Amino acid sequence: MIIVTGGAGMIGSNIIKALNERGITDILVVDHLKNGRKFKNLVDLQIADYMDRDDFLAQIMAGDDFGSIDAIFHEGACSATTEWDGKYVMLNNYEYSKELLHYCLDREIPFLYASSAATYGETDTFIEEPQYEGALNVYGYSKQQFDNYVRRLWLDAEQHGETLSQITGFRYFNVYGPREQHKGSMASVAFHLNNQMNAGENPKLFAGSEHFKRDFVYVGDVAAVNLWFLEHGVSGIFNCGTGKAESFNEVAKAVIAF
């Protein structure tokens, strides 16, 4: 069985879709459907079971047996960069992630998790090393601290001559594509521009948009990267983007052309 936390979210549901395309359906989806609109992301997917996030975490913390687990994709988190309740964000993105990580380490289960490019802050150097990191919001800080926690585990294992089971973190850049309709203001620029076009409106961009650039990466590619790392058993913390920045103006032109 494969477990996908945040499985009803954008990236999680696209990972499940990619697994289904490989004939894998023995999947446990873990999510929190307080935002009921996310159910639409699961309708066309083949899964074995669904479990509420809180129930799942309670069983993880109790050390319950879920049977044979081939991997856990940990995509569940508070992903709002505008959320300033630090206690809430750290509990969801840091403390819960540590619990799940140690559950996997104790059982040698591959653990692939969502980090974020928000860990970098304002730097122009996107290298996966601490000296280039400096989060600007609580969300980015929670991801940065979990990455640092993982690094400390690797260092401790190395100093003791030990080898840990697979841990892979992905620093997602600006992900866009299908299954993000539930995200509201947190949806991608491409999503909002496309909705404006479908409503018969002209794309709305703020002044100076030609100067604001981001690395926009397609969610299908993000899912493929996740599966590649699982199949090859590679540990580490990696950037997950195209490596090329595009301006908001260029995105608008692409949406219009599409």
**CATH top-level class of 177-212+251-257:** alpha beta
Domain with CATH 3.90.25.10 in the chain: 177-212+251-257
Q: From CA 64, how far away is CA 172, in angstroms rounded?
A: 31
Residue length of the chain: 258
pLDDT given at position 248: 66
Which one is catalytic: 17, 38, 143, 183? Answer: 183
pLDDT, block means (10 residues), the chain with 258 residues? 97 98 98 89 98 97 96 90 87 96 98 98 92 95 98 98 98 89 61 58 58 82 98 98 78 60
pTM, whole model, 2 decimals? Answer: 0.89
What's the fold here for domain 2-175+216-244? Rossmann fold (3.40.50)
pLDDT at 83: 82
At CA 230, angle to CA 225 and CA 232, rounded to 5? 95
Q: Say what the pLDDT of residue 151 is.
A: 99
Give me the pLDDT at residue 249, please: 62
The one-character DSSP state at 209 is G
The residues near 231 (Cβ < 8 Å, ≥ 6 apart) are none
Beta bridge partners of 27: 2
Identify residue 233 by its one-letter amino acid code.
G
Pick the catalytic residue from 96, 113, 120, 139.
Answer: 139
Q: Where in the chain is the domain with CATH 3.40.50.720?
A: 2-175+216-244
94 is a catalytic site residue: no
Burial of 4 (0-12, 13-18, 19+ CB in 10 A): buried
Asked about 141 being catalytic, the answer comes back as: no
Find where tokens 């996030």 sit. 53
Torsion 115-101-42-182 (CA) sign: negative
Q: In degrees rounded to 5, what are phi and psi of residue 172?
A: -65, 135
